[in-house]
Amino acid sequence: GFKVGNITISIALIFGAVFTLVVILAVTRFIQRTGEKRFFPRTRLDIGVQNSLKTMIGYIGLIIAVMSGISVLGFNLSNLAIIAGALSVGIGFGLQSIVNNFVSGLILLFERPIKVGDWIVVSSGEGTVKRISVRSTEIETWDRSSIIVPNSELISSSVTNWTHKDRWTRLIVPVGVSYESDPDEVVMVLSKVITSNK
């Protein structure tokens, strides 16, 4: 092995740390899949809540895996906390946009002003929220294209959420007819079209 300060690191410790990291991450993935396929469908939780829980389980598992791997190597976590605090200041200044988007993503998951499955309107366009990740949110438009919106934009800017309270929405479809058309006949034809497409 070799020494880093007062700590001796060997090949066995490195393999042990990697093994611990992989095992905890595998257990986390298993818990996520089990919850998504077996537990969540039995509950009455909204699909947005289910996605938030799944994402948070992944974050918690990743943090536990990294800290456990470092502990196996023999590093003192209290000393690492001081180093991480100093580095976070530099990272905060150098990667402000990424940190801002990450924190905004956490706010979206906890506060849930926007959930997976919601129909929202932002400055970039409108569509259905498909995925909320660490840095950005994916919105699928009516023509099946995807808009990748930074999370900070969803927190700092105005967002219209058509399905925030419930799943029922109103869709306005403009219909053009001749000025000479009989209004009653137009209403009757439109009613037949709506009835036939229920």
**Tell me: the pLDDT tens digits for 49-67?**
777 778 888 888 888 888 8
8 A C-beta contact, residue 129 and residue 120: yes
Q: Express each pLDDT in 68-121 by its tens digit.
A: 888 887 776 666 666 666 666 666 666 677 778 778 887 887 777 888 888 899
Give the percent of the chain with pLDDT over 90.
9
8 A C-beta contact, residue 65 and residue 24: yes
Q: Does the model's pTM come out above 0.75?
A: no
What mean pLDDT do residues 18-32 have?
A: 90
> Closest Cα to residue 197, out of 173, 177, 181?
173
Structure tokens at 164: 């925030």
